Amino acid sequence: MLDKYDYLVIGGGPGGTPVASALASAGKQVLLVEKGAGLGGTCLFEGCIPSKIFRESARRLRELQESGDFGLCMPTRDVHLDWSAIQERKQVILHLRSTGAIQRIRQNSSLDITLGSAMFLDNSHARITPNAEKPVDIEFKQAIIATGSKPFRPPIKGVEESCVVDSAQILEINHVPERLAIIGAGPIGVELGQVFHTFGSDVTLYEAGAHILAHADQELAERLQQQMTEEQIRIITDCHIKRICRTGSGVFVEYQTAAGQTAHHFADTVLLVTGRRPNTEGLGLENTAVKQTPHGIQVDEKLQTTEANIFALGDVVGQPMFAHWATAQGLALAKNLLGQPVPFPDADHNSAVIFSEPELAMAGLTEEQAQSRDIEYEVARYDYKRDARAQISNRAKGLLKILYESDSHRIIGIHVLVEGAGDLMGEAALAVTQGMTLEELACTIHPHPTLTESFSLAARSALQKR
Ligand SMILES: Cc1cc2nc3c(=O)[nH]c(=O)nc-3n(C[C@H](O)[C@H](O)[C@H](O)COP(=O)(O)OP(=O)(O)OC[C@H]3O[C@@H](n4cnc5c(N)ncnc54)[C@H](O)[C@@H]3O)c2cc1C
């Protein structure tokens, strides 16, 4: 470690790692400090990747269970779930990805990586405490905070019970709970609820709002909720959790219904997924002029904090909290710091996938957002019931919605509920970001038979109706 750096980057997740790497590749002296076991952040160790590894096993199990629909006679009742093998597979992939990231990034001679924690002493000095070593003070010209977020534990009576786990803990669990109560029906609650349901858990989802996935297109979220209910996942909306209490017959989750009555359910494990909070503890922000709000570190549109030479990005600055968003911010910030001005990511052009079954994916604005901004828009719709590819794969329960401005026909949002929706989002994001019109989408040649055809079919039928 040197005693002076051009840049100090705190946090080696999907936000911090690319920005550190890009700055070092341009010849800047960079110190990247990560307090976890390796590079990768929440995304690799506690988020995107481990949850998708579980989901992949669940998806394959579902396929086996549905094999009869495809003329395959399989003894699916004999399929045995080897939980420790699933956990081991997860560890192998995480290790591979983490060591791969370190090896790739270490090739850069102007980048130093320290596994340990960083704390600001003032706006140009920080104390670095490497794991199991003595602290070292360094000087920096500019700093980037990318310390991510952590699960929020709401003040519910009983949340401190050992049977109450957060999203990181459930990904480490050593068994499939027989009865799983999930508090919070956002993307993580929905995804893990379906995964554990497929693995055999009796799942109950509790949600304070009127429907699951508050930030997704309401119509699609309600359709998904209906499908989950039909699959025997219990979903209790408009409820308020009063307490969690361990008893002889399991954990008792007491809640107030929309009608004001008190009700309860028993579970073995309670998963709390009620949002995330910025990771700023121990950073020494009080020694700088960096200000925080309850949502995260305060930054302007160029990710500059209230301390001119300190920047922040990713989950630590609040919503949207996605790995690809943190990376996009990091790459844009690096370019701008290197004197190559590029636009910073625009939330109106972001895309996201909820890894439910079927997937619910989105790019751009929702109808609710368009309405709140008084945008005059129309919706091109396509029901996957009539889609060749969806029929072939027996996944025809789905809907596509393309939102476009009424006068210019510019596409402002694309929302899809169908198995494989996530893989449609590349095109959806391009259409929204590039401001494509419905006419341009309609005359783009899409290969047959693929789900992507739905985009041009939806656009063409909306134009024909005009
Ligand atoms: C269960 C789950 C599933 C998810 N699935 C998806 C998904 O499918 N797709 C998606 O896009 N997003 C998903 N996310 C969200 C995604 O993981 C985050 O948005 C993303 O990791 C944020 O990146 P970041 O770099 O801002 O922060 P993080 O990934 O949290 O990285 C921050 C790093 O900073 C380190 N750090 C903190 N404090 C200090 C300090 N003082 N000194 C040094 N280091 C420090 C932390 O150890 C951490 O490694 C999921 C999240 C969860 C919890």
- Residue 157: inside a domain: no
- Residue 310: inside a domain: yes
Looking at the structure, tell me whether residues 129 and 171 fall in a common domain: no
- How much is the pLDDT for 305? 98
Looking at the structure, tell me whether residues 256 and 281 fall in a common domain: no
Looking at the structure, tell me whether residues 29 and 134 fall in a common domain: yes
- How much is the pLDDT for 382? 97
Looking at the structure, tell me whether residues 363 and 308 fall in a common domain: no
- How much is the pLDDT for 431? 98
Nearest CA to ligand 1 atom 2: 47
- For residue 115, give the amino acid letter: L
204: tokens are 């109950």
Query: How many domains would you assign to the chain?
Result: 3
- How much is the pLDDT for 372? 97
pLDDT at residue 465 greater than cutoff 90:
no
Looking at the structure, tell me whether residues 233 and 330 fall in a common domain: no
pLDDT at residue 77 greater than cutoff 80:
no
- How much is the pLDDT for 250? 86
End position of a domain, from candidates 229, 254, 274: 274
Looking at the structure, tell me whether residues 362 and 415 fall in a common domain: yes
Other beta carbons within 10 angstroms of residue 147's beta carbon come to 28
Average of pLDDT values for 436-441?
98
What pTM was estimated for this model as a whole?
0.96
Q: Please, which pLDDT band fits residue 230 given cuts at 50, 70 and 90?
A: very high
Could you report the per-residue pLDDT of 371-407, keeping only the tens digit for each?
A: 999 999 999 999 999 999 999 999 999 999 999 999 9
Write out residues with Cβ below 6 Å of ligand 1: 10-16, 33-36, 41-43, 46-48, 51, 117-118, 146-149, 167, 188, 279, 282-283, 314-316, 321-324, 326, 355
- Residue 223: inside a domain: yes
Q: Please, which pLDDT band fits residue 73 given cuts at 50, 70 and 90?
A: confident
- How much is the pLDDT for 366? 97
Residue 384 phi/psi, 5° resolution?
A: -70, -5
- How much is the pLDDT for 228? 98
pLDDT at residue 229 greater than cutoff 80:
yes
DSSP secondary structure letter of residue 344: P
Measure the CA–CA gap between 316 and 14, rounded to whole angstroms.
12
Looking at the structure, tell me whether residues 11 and 126 fall in a common domain: yes
CATH code at 127? 3.50.50.60
End position of a domain, from candidates 345, 375, 393: 345
Average of pLDDT values for 267-281?
96
Flag whether 456 is marked binding.
no
For residue 226, the surrounding DSSP H or E stretch is helix 218-230
Looking at the structure, tell me whether residues 54 and 92 fall in a common domain: yes
Looking at the structure, tell me whether residues 83 and 123 fall in a common domain: yes
Q: What percent of the chain has pLDDT over 70?
A: 100
Other beta carbons within 10 angstroms of residue 381's beta carbon come to 13
Nearest CA to ligand 1 atom 21: 43
Beta bridge partners of 181: 204, 270
pLDDT at residue 464 greater than cutoff 90:
yes
Specify whether the CB–CB gap between 61 and 198 falls below 8 A: yes
147: tokens are 């310390």
Average of pLDDT values for 176-196?
98
Looking at the structure, tell me whether residues 442 and 406 fall in a common domain: yes
pLDDT at residue 107 greater than cutoff 90:
no
- Residue 156: inside a domain: no
End position of a domain, from candidates 236, 257, 274: 274
Average of pLDDT values for 211-238?
97
- How much is the pLDDT for 466? 74
Measure the CA–CA gap between 231 and 253, rounded to whole angstroms.
22
- How much is the pLDDT for 2? 85
pLDDT at residue 325 greater than cutoff 80:
yes
- Residue 113: inside a domain: yes
Nearest CA to ligand 1 atom 3: 47
Looking at the structure, tell me whether residues 354 and 341 fall in a common domain: no
- Residue 159: inside a domain: no
CA distances from 160 to 166, 178, 179, 344 (A): 11, 21, 19, 40
Q: Is 175 a catalytic residue?
A: no
Query: In the sheet that 240-247 helps form, which strands lie side by side, from edge to edge?
Result: 240-247, 250-256, 262-267
- How much is the pLDDT for 1? 84
Query: For 420, left (φ over 0), alpha (ψ -120 to 50), or beta?
Result: left
Q: Which domain holds residue 402?
A: 349-464
Looking at the structure, tell me whether residues 15 and 98 fall in a common domain: yes
Average of pLDDT values for 338-347?
97
The mean pLDDT value of the chain amounts to 96
- How much is the pLDDT for 157? 94
- How much is the pLDDT for 106? 84
- How much is the pLDDT for 181? 98
16, 15, 35, 5: which is closest to 110 by C-alpha? 5
Q: What percent of the chain has pLDDT over 90?
A: 91
CATH code at 446? 3.30.390.30
CA distances from 357 to 47, 68, 91, 127, 294 (A): 18, 19, 24, 46, 33
Catalytic entry in 125, 240, 415, 448: 448
Top mutation candidate among 17, 32, 43, 311 for ligand 1, by most atoms within 8 Å of CB: 43
